Amino acid sequence: MDAGALDVGGWGGYENVMTQTPFSLRPLRVADADAVAALVRSAFAAQTVVTDPLPSALKETGGNIAKILTGGGGGVAADFAGVIGGALVWEEKDGGLYVGRVSVDRAYRGHGIARAMVRAAEAEARHRGLPRMWLSTRLALLDNRRLFASLGFVEIAEHAHAGYDHPTYVDMEKRLG
């Protein structure tokens, strides 16, 4: 494994057995911030379900990603020979590792990238000695909720965005033991 690859249980590269699509996971760098922000905007714009309100991720900026990366947070990129095909960011928040902006480019979906990146985030949470990791997702995004549930997350609280009288998103948590 090269020095820039992320150690995720002893492997830094991944190849989907069914599609033979190789990618490596590596830590996000500040230099990636603009590309990651563009990926986030594109991935959230391509959601299969339109959410109300629209995702704040559609306004993501490189400056915000850089702020997370330089402020004690971090993230992981799924790198396809120099092209970032997936990314997520994390921050220590509320007694755990908060995982956000889980994004995979449409061209690279269906290859286990989101699953591998969330596992990398779990490795980071364990490395930091945190008791849990958590995230938020829209109630309407059933595929996302199923994916996170398959990775051991459970729904713990529903919330409404400002100005809404009904729940619009849910917090999901994975306890680490």
Residue 38 maps to a domain: yes
Rounded to 5°, the CA angle 146-76-34 comes to 110
Is pLDDT of 114 > 80?
Answer: yes
Residue 137 maps to a domain: no
Rounded to 5°, the CA angle 23-29-31 comes to 110
Residue 47 maps to a domain: yes
Query: Using the 8-state DSSP alphabet, how is residue 1 labeled?
Result: -
Is pLDDT of 51 > 50?
Answer: yes
Structure confidence at residue 144 (pLDDT): 95
Average of pLDDT values for 98-112? 94
Q: Report which secondary-structure segment, H or E, holds 70.
A: helix 62-70
Q: What is the mean pLDDT of the chain?
A: 89
Total domains in the chain come to 1
Q: Which residue has the higher pLDDT, 150 or 111?
A: 150
With a threshold of 0.95, does the pTM exceed it?
no
The domain in which residue 78 lies consists of 13-130
Provide the CATH number for the domain around residue 94: 3.40.630.30
Residue 125 maps to a domain: yes
| Cα 57 to Cα 11, 99, 136, 151, distances in angstroms | 30, 13, 12, 23
pLDDT digits (tens, 9 = 90+) for 128-163: 999 999 999 999 999 999 999 999 999 999 999 999
Residue 86 maps to a domain: yes
pLDDT digits (tens, 9 = 90+) for 122-131: 999 999 999 9
pLDDT more than 90, % of the chain: 82
